[in-house]
Structures are given as structure tokens and as C-alpha cells.
Amino acid sequence: MNLKRIKETKKPSRIYLHMSEIILKGWFQGEPRAAINTEGAESHMVLEDGSLVVRAAMPKDMQRVIDLLGLVV
């Protein structure tokens, strides 16, 4: 079978990503809450151990980035 022909007829994959969360362990030392702006509390928070948690909505071009990186889900 011709793999190129199969690839052309197959529907493209769809990946739906809505939110991303990154945890940076031990980012703050000492007094972590004094070192961060609390205005955007919905987008970040500091844990008791000084880890920074950052949340962000995925941009619409995430599928393009996944394709460029060659990631398969």
C-alpha cells in the first residue's frame, strides 16, 4: 500500500488543550508571598514550600506547535 495515499485520505488529528499548569519547585525561598504580585492570583500561586504554580490558557496555535515538534497524541 502507498503510505502517502493513506496519509492524504486520513482525517487530521485534533487535539484540544484548554489549560496548562507549570509547577516550579522551590522557586521562592524565605518569604515567598512577599516576592510575588497578588493581582493575578487566578493565573499563579505560591505553595507553602515556595513552589510557584503558573496557569495559562492555551493559545489557538497550540496544534501548530505540537505539529512542529512532531508530538503524537
Q: Provide the residue-wise pLDDT of the chain in tens; the chain has 73 residues.
A: 445 554 555 666 565 556 676 677 776 766 655 445 444 445 667 777 878 776 666 655 455 555 655 555 4
Residue with cell 500500500: 1
Task: Judge if pTM exceeds 0.75.
Answer: no
Structural domain count, the chain = 1
Q: Are 27 and 52 in contact (CB under 8 A)?
A: yes
Q: Tell me which residue range forms the domain holding 43.
A: 3-69
- Phi, psi of 30, rounded to the nearest 5 degrees: 85, -110
